[in-house]
Chains A and B, each alone.
Chain A
Amino acid sequence: MMSDILTRLSAVPSRPHGATETTDETYDRQLRDLVTYLKQPGLVPSTTDPNEYLQVLSPSTHSLSFLYLLRFHIQQAQKRTKRDIPDVLQPGGILWKWAVRFLRSFDPIQIRYSIHEWRQLVEVVASAALTTSKSFLALKVTRDALEQLGLCGIFTSTHLLLVRLALLSSSYTYALPITNQLLYHFPTDADHVHHGYLSCSEHAPTTTLVTNASGISSKLTHRDHLQYFLYSAMIYMALKKWDEACHCLNAVITSPTSNAVSKIMVEAYKKWILVNLLGYGKVISCSIVVSLHDVGAWLIDLNAQIPPTSKMIAPHVMRVYQSVARPYISVAEAFEKGELQKMITEIDLGQTMWQADKNTGLVSQLFEAYDKFVIVKLGKTFSALTMADVLQRTSSTAQSPLQIEEFVASLVMSGALRANLSHTPHENGTTMLRLSLGSRSDTCRQEHIRAELIRARTALNAIAQGVTQTDQTLELSRENLQFLAKSQKWSGNSDKISSSGEAGGGGDIDEDIMGDGQ
């Protein structure tokens, strides 16, 4: 009996990459038949030991069978114990181990046929970890599972789950492989699916396969999308990656809204002000400008061409922001104008608000950021200053020339401030801060230029790749244009074409036609 079931369960192994022995049509039919078989009630006796079957099947080769069996055992355990998370499913339990092993090694092509069940498994694993206060364990598994599935820019509820787990477990770097990915699709409605692809086709774009009907995501709302970007921003803030944090917050605060402004957007706006001050010393208008601003002077011209964030926010939304985030705006104004005392007063006055908004940590970093940007600004006026001069013009944290020297040295040494330090000959002599780039040694200057050239080359390569991809997407590639030109010729000689048989010989032609449907 068991051997019969096992034979059936292992009848459709995953296809190696590029394998051609089984056609897409045959493989698709086999997998659909397998799913039908797996959905039969009472397929496996409820008394079966989970290990009995799971040990025999490979999660990477027989992913569909493995997933259904695992789900069956989880459901049995839940029924038996009348608990959502029975002991065997808790971290370290036998079903937990099988689930983790599966989520790290499943075949993404096979799972396309049971993606709803896949998501349920991810969610139950996360729930098990959260119940035992071990959210960290769920974070890594969820990340690995998402990477294994390879969703290519599609936002799902699992993404939101992942960033929540990262924040709950204070493990930020582990979430970056997912949060760094560009998201530009929601799961599509089934009506809009391109029916030209089979689910098992390696070349099928994920966007055409991952639909709402497939169950890849629980029902997504506007709020989920905002929360994902807010949480991602918080992850970047914890890592002091201000560019990325600003990008995510921009996505939230500029989100279109017809009337009411959500609390998430207001929270994001408050953080956005603080992140701007910490990252750039002022409230900068656009994430794209911010991110590209530092990478080379050649990109600065973009600044004028991109609309500022304030113009991307509807006036009624901006009015709400400005009224509810007044204390933050006051701090930002004082910070930008270099009014230290006023900034300190505003920060003291807003203590209750910072605490309520859970922004105390960010606000506390403003003092150091203030000093840093005051010193950076000095470079616009002075080419060289003594530490006593610097101390006089800065603030807050340092009390003596020695302390300010330590602070300035840390800025210069970390690369946050482009300057040089120079001690004068006497034992108790002064330390000069040379802010002019002209004071850099030839070697440093050459090194700086070399670095800029390398960055520019990287940028050009990235643009060139993007252009090629865009050409392909828009079907502007040379090959396609040649094909179109040929097609036009053919259309004038259709008889000849049909007799030559070339029209049907086209793997290439099929691909191009498929491309139209995207």
Chain B
Amino acid sequence: MDLPPLSLDQLFAVLSTAPTPADLYKILSDYEEQACLISPKEVELLSAFYTIFFFSHLLTDQIEEARALTKRMPQPILQTDSVQNCLLLLRAVWQSKHASIYKILRELPWPERAQSVVQSYENHFQQKTLKEVSNSYEAIRPAAAATYLGLDPTLAQQGDQEIIQRFTACGWSWDPETQLLHPKPVVSAPPKDNGLQRELSRVMALISH
């Protein structure tokens, strides 16, 4: 089915209506062909497209492919502010620099209409990190936990009740004596292991051929 022509309005319509990040990624993947055919002079449209497409990669945890996307963007678009911000964000995500990630997301100037996807990624990253910290730490100082989740580490270290409550609301326990938080591991279903399926299919195909 032919897609409606790519325009700023269409792009933001897709952004606001895509039910899940995977859908957003899929639709924008299809639009990348149209983006390739648009003159690089259309900086505003292309910059918005590649910014949102970049975030759709992050929202679906495709960091390596997000990096590849930055390699194939048209050269003039790489110089725009929002794509430059994307490059900074990519480096911070690549290096797992949590504090930098929140700083880039919150403090750098993102285009007004891209704010929703920036906010979505912040939420996604925060939730993902919360789960990872919950499963990795048995005991953690509030300042460290706050840094991971983009909260104020100074206030957390001072035992700020509001921050502590944010953690205890997630099932963590707070030991006032040791001043440590004890995360509660997050139990979730393991992802479907397509790799295993593929490997075994290879073995079975070799046997039968």
Contacts and interface: CB of A to CB of B under 8 A. Distances in A.
Interface of A: 91-92, 134, 136-137, 140, 153, 169-174, 180, 182, 184, 238-240, 243-244, 288, 291-292, 295, 406, 409-410, 412-414, 420-425, 427, 434, 439, 441, 443-444, 446-447, 450-451, 454-455, 458-459, 462-463, 465-467, 469-470, 473-474
B25 to A, nearest CB: 10
A294 to B, nearest CB: 9
B208 A469 contact: yes
B204 A171 contact: no
A298 to B, nearest CB: 12
A423 B185 contact: no
A425 B209 CA distance: 61
A170 B71 contact: yes
Contacts of A414: 96, 132
B36 A458 contact: no
Interface string B100-142: 0000000000000000000000000000010011011111110
A288 B208 contact: no
Interface in B13-68: 29, 32-33, 36-37, 62, 64-65, 68
Sorted nearest first, the 6 A-B pairs with minimum C-beta distance are A466-B204, A425-B178, A413-B132, A462-B200, A451-B190, A470-B208
5 contacts: A171-B68, A174-B29, A184-B205, A414-B132, A463-B204
Contact of B136 (A153, A243, A413): A413
A295 B144 contact: no
B201 A444 contact: no
B65 A425 contact: no
Interface string B178-209: 11100011010110110111111111111111
B173 interface: no
Nearest to B57: A173
A132 to B, nearest CB: 10
B204 A467 contact: yes
Contact of A91 (B37, B129, B137, B197): B37
Contacts of A451: 190
Contacts of A470: 204, 207-208
A441 B172 CA distance: 14
Given A425-B178, A462-B204, A463-B200, 8 more contacts: A92-B37, A171-B68, A182-B198, A295-B193, A421-B137, A425-B177, A439-B138, A466-B208
Contacts of B135: 413, 444
Given A140-B33, A238-B64, A466 B136 contact: no
Contacts of B36: 91, 134, 136-137
B185 A243 contact: no
Contacts of A173: 62, 65, 68
B140 A443 contact: no
- The majority secondary structure among interface residues of chain B is helix
A180 B198 contact: yes
A265 to B, nearest CB: 21
Nearest to A237: B64
- The majority secondary structure among interface residues of chain A is helix
A239 B58 CA distance: 14
Contact of A423 (B64, B144, B189): B144
Contacts of A458: 192-193, 196-197
Contact of A172 (B64, B190, B196, B202): B64
Contacts, number: 141
Contacts of A171: 68, 72
Nearest to A173: B65
A474 B207 CA distance: 10
A290 to B, nearest CB: 10
Contact of B202 (A169, A182, A422): A182
A434 B207 CA distance: 43
Given A243-B195, A455-B196, A170 B72 contact: yes
A441 B136 contact: no
Nearest to B191: A451
Nearest to B70: A170
B42 to A, nearest CB: 14
A361 to B, nearest CB: 11
B180 A423 contact: yes
Contacts of B85: none
B137 A447 contact: no
Contacts of A455: 190, 193, 196
By CB atoms of chain B within 10 A, which of A137, A173, A414 has the most? A173
A476 to B, nearest CB: 11
B60 to A, nearest CB: 10
Nearest to B184: A443
B157 interface: yes
B196 A462 contact: yes
Given A238-B64, A455-B190, A406 B96 contact: yes
A421 B179 contact: no
Contacts of B32: 136
Contacts of B199: 243, 288, 291-292, 295
Contacts of A463: 200, 204
B195 A447 contact: no
B137 A420 contact: yes
Contacts of B132: 413-414
Contacts of A169: 72
Contacts of A473: 208-209
B139 A137 contact: no
A170 B133 contact: no
Nearest to B141: A423
A425 B29 CA distance: 49
By CB atoms of chain A within 10 A, which of B157, B196, B205, B209 has the most? B196
